[in-house]
Structure 1
Amino acid sequence: MTYDCAIVGAGVMGCSTALFLARAGMRVVLLDRGEICREASGVNAGTLTMQMTRAALVPYALRAHEMWLRMPEWCDGRGVLATACPGLSVAFTPHEAAMLEERATARRAAGAPIELISGTAAQAIEPGLADGVRLAGHCPIDGFTSAYLTGLAFRGALLNAGVTLLENTPVGGVDGRFELATPAGSVSATRLVLAGGVWLQDMAAWLGVSLPIKVLVNQLVVTERMPTVMRTVLGVASGLLSLKQYANGTVLIGGGWQGVGDRARGGLAVKPESFLGNIRLAAHTVPALRDARVVRSWLGLEAETADALPVIGPVPGIDNAWTIGSVHSGYTSGPYMGKILAQAITGQPPELPLFPMERL
């Protein structure tokens, strides 16, 4: 069978695109070299935040935030334990305060309801916060998910919509219009979507396109279960910390501290100095974390373009070929990005503009 659309890469953006295309009546095949949402989409911090989202992406993140919270309604009853809660971004130093004020102003202009408040006001919202906060950004509509559930949530909805799901099926290249080479044989489609995250650079090369993608090897840490020590999504204006506590009591510590790895080999090893810096900053920000024991630390690859905005739209010069992905903090806006790409592919005007490749 020749499919109406083949999507290579089954992260959150690829899954969302596939789901909305199938519901629009297309015959869709979704391929991944592993299992769905088991790379960046399944191992990230699950943060749904406006305060870590670039101003240009705030309108997309606001719509995606609502999609995450209502996921069971559009994903056949399945969700990712999405939790809505306030978000705080705090500044301990004058430099961080200036950074926070500048970024909060830009994000507020883009539609994020961020208010600058004093350290005392921040402690009233988050009693576990340390003393010494000079300034804080408060956003009432942040939140988080259990990211490891993302693939489980999408799988049933994709199959119910008629998507052919080919997991553990690496694509070695694309020939003709469009013949995808796999170990099990070729897969044919009249449209192609490349949704490869950090591997989008290699996928674009199949079509003769040069698309530089930076690879971040982010470390994350999770603690044992402990009494409630925070009620918000908490970050530091420098961007080196994100904290959240789940319903089972575990605390997830992130912030983009880098580990060892690359595009070809994946995440290889945790850097001890990054690990220590991350947990020390966490304990400085929420002193109760000094009593926590760490359960484990792991790595996840994150893709980023030169301007940290996504690549969503047609491939220049190649009819019916599209890309989606490779944006810093892309999990937050992921399901909405897939929705608007599906609109464009089916000939509808996207609700919000895409992000064309030509700029890169």
Structure 2
Amino acid sequence: MSYDIAIIGGGIMGCATALRLAEGGMHPIVLDQGDLGQGASGVNAGTLSLQIKRVQLMPYALRGHDLWAQMGDAVGFHKSGGYTLAFNAREAELLTERQTLKAEAGAPIEFVSNAQLRRAAPNLTQNVVAASYCAEDGYANSSLTGQYYRGRLQDAGIAYRTHSPVTAIDKTTAFELATPQGTVRAKRLLLAAGAWLKPVAAMLGVDLPVQARVNTVSVTERMPPLMSSVIGHATGLLTMKQKANGTVLIGGGWQGRGTPQDGRGTVASDTLRPNLALAQYAVPSLGSARVLRSWTGFEANVPDFYPLAGALPHVAGAYVLGCVRGGYTIGPYISRLMGDFILGQEPELPLFDPGRAYTKEPT
């Protein structure tokens, strides 16, 4: 069977783009080497904070945040508000500079006094020098990502194959993708494979300078109520939230070990300890909490840390979408833009030309 487009990658971006293309009348198929939403889309901390997004990506984050709110309970969306903290003068200066720029870019961020912070979050450390607040910040349950998009694809009648890694791509008049379940033929191709973009693009003779971060996330045992808002740090090295069941999720981009090609990454104790120590410093009561589990997830990026979103130069009919910092928040929206672009429509906001990231042309 032939499809209008084959999408390699069944995370948020692959699935959401497929939905947009189907709305526009195309017949897509989604292929994933594992299960839907089980890569970066399903193992991150689920934080939907505008305070930790890059200024230039704020318009995309704002619209992405709105889409998560529309998904609601199906993805465990919760708008809790969020505080970002500074513990010394240098951090306070950094916080003021960054959050002022983000507020100017449209994020509803305000600075709060210590008195306001104490009333709203009495379990925080007394050693806060400065703090910002965003009422729109919140989180979703990333473990529901795959379940949600599986249902959406099924409702839309969109074909998908799980545990179906693409092992080779041939391009003649159409794309022919070799998989364990047989060859998939499609007129067009979208690479949305996250941290696996580099080896997938190599099948087309394209060398993309994609690297992968190995972000660590931890979860504690159930605790009494400690925080009702998302908590972050001025450096970006801490994000925390307490779920309705009392567990506390702790992240902040501390790095584990491993590569996407080797499979799952591994937690590194030398980075896990300072991550947990910073969390305990921010909320001293966490000192009595047991950490039940820590895990890693791969986050792809290119050297300038901006997305790849657009046509893949030198390969007619091929597109790429990935390397989006804050991809969990922005993913549903930039996927809509990508779908519109493939459908030949003018995207609401500009995409990010993948051609800038090439290290060499395909042979």
Give the length in aligned residue pairs. 355
Give the Cα separation in 1 of the matches to 2:303 and 2:120: 36
Instruction: Please say if 1:92 is aligned against 2:87.
Output: yes
Q: Which residue of 1 aligns with 2:49?
A: 49
Give the Cα separation in 1 of the matches to 2:127 and 2:238: 16
- Give, as a single letter, the amino acid of the residue that structure 2 aligns with 1:46: G
Give the Cα separation in 2 of the matches to 1:237 and 1:120: 19
Q: Which residue of 2 aligns with 1:221?
A: 218
Q: Which residue of 2 aligns with 1:27?
A: 27
Give the Cα separation in 2 of the matches to 1:308 and 1:232: 28
Give the Cα separation in 1 of the matches to 2:307 and 2:273: 31
Q: Deviations for 1:132-154, whole angstroms, at most 9, x for unmatched residues?
A: 11111111101101100000011
Q: Which residue of 2 aligns with 1:16?
A: 16
Deviation at 1:201, TM superposition (A): 1.4
- Give, as a single letter, the amino acid of the residue that structure 2 aligns with 1:155: R
Instruction: Please say if 1:181 is aligned against 2:178.
Output: yes
Q: Which residue of 2 aligns with 1:203?
A: 200
Return the match for 2:288 from 269, 287, 291.
291
Q: Which residue of 2 aligns with 1:68?
A: 68
Aligned-pair RMSD on alpha carbons?
Answer: 1.3
Give the Cα separation in 2 of the matches to 1:154 and 1:240: 30
Deviation at 1:59, TM superposition (A): 0.7
Q: Deviations for 1:108-167, whole angstroms, at most 9, x for unmatched residues?
A: 121111112233332232222111111111111011011000000110110121111100
The percentage of aligned residue pairs carrying the same residue is 48
Q: Deviations for 1:175-219, whole angstroms, at most 9, x for unmatched residues?
A: 112111112221111111000111111122222222111211111
Give the Cα separation in 1 of the matches to 2:264 and 2:187: 34
Deviation at 1:69, TM superposition (A): 1.2
Give the Cα separation in 1 of the matches to 2:157 and 2:255: 39
Give the Cα separation in 2 of the matches to 1:66 and 1:49: 12
SS in 2 for 1:141: coil
- Give, as a single letter, the amino acid of the residue that structure 2 aligns with 1:287: P
Deviation at 1:256, TM superposition (A): 0.9
SS in 1 for 2:160: strand
Return the match for 1:110 from 105, 109, 112.
105
Give the Cα separation in 2 of the matches to 1:94 and 1:266: 41
Give the Cα separation in 2 of the matches to 1:10 and 1:337: 15
Q: Compare 112-121 and 198-207 and name the one that shifted more.
A: 112-121
Q: Which residue of 2 aligns with 1:122?
A: 117
Instruction: Please say if 1:309 is aligned against 2:306.
Output: yes
Deviation at 1:97, TM superposition (A): 1.2
Could you tell me which runs of 5 or more consecutive residues in structure 2 were left unpaired when the two chains were aligned.
Answer: 358-363
- Give, as a single letter, the amino acid of the residue that structure 1 aligns with 2:45: A
Q: Which residue of 2 aligns with 1:75?
A: none
SS in 2 for 1:324: strand
- 8 Å Cα contact 1:305-1:327 kept in structure 2: no
Give the Cα separation in 2 of the matches to 1:144 and 1:261: 27
Instruction: Please say if 1:5 is aligned against 2:28.
Output: no
Instruction: Please say if 1:157 is aligned against 2:152.
Output: yes
Could you tell me which runs of 5 or more consecutive residues in structure 1 were left unpaired when the two chains were aligned.
Answer: 73-77
Return the match for 1:146 from 125, 131, 141.
141
Give the Cα separation in 2 of the matches to 1:241 and 1:2: 46
- 8 Å Cα contact 2:265-2:297 kept in structure 1: no
- Give, as a single letter, the amino acid of the residue that structure 1 aligns with 2:317: N
Q: Deviations for 1:242-266, whole angstroms, at most 9, x for unmatched residues?
A: 0001111110000111111112113
Q: Compare 39-48 and 98-107 and name the one that shifted more.
A: 98-107
Q: Please list, as runs of the form range in 1=range in 2, the aligned pairs for 1:211-290 lying within 5 A after superposition.
A: 211-290=208-287
Distance 1:122-1:196 versus aligned 2 partners, 3 A rule: same
- Give, as a single letter, the amino acid of the residue that structure 1 aligns with 2:218: V
- 8 Å Cα contact 2:308-2:324 kept in structure 1: yes
Give the Cα separation in 1 of the matches to 2:356 and 2:100: 26
Deviation at 1:57, TM superposition (A): 1.0
| TM-score, normalization by structure 1 | 0.96
| TM-score, normalization by structure 2 | 0.95
- 8 Å Cα contact 1:118-1:134 kept in structure 2: no
Q: Which residue of 2 aligns with 1:336?
A: 333
Q: Compare 350-359 and 145-154 and name the one that shifted more.
A: 350-359
Deviation at 1:307, TM superposition (A): 1.5
- Give, as a single letter, the amino acid of the residue that structure 1 aligns with 2:186: A
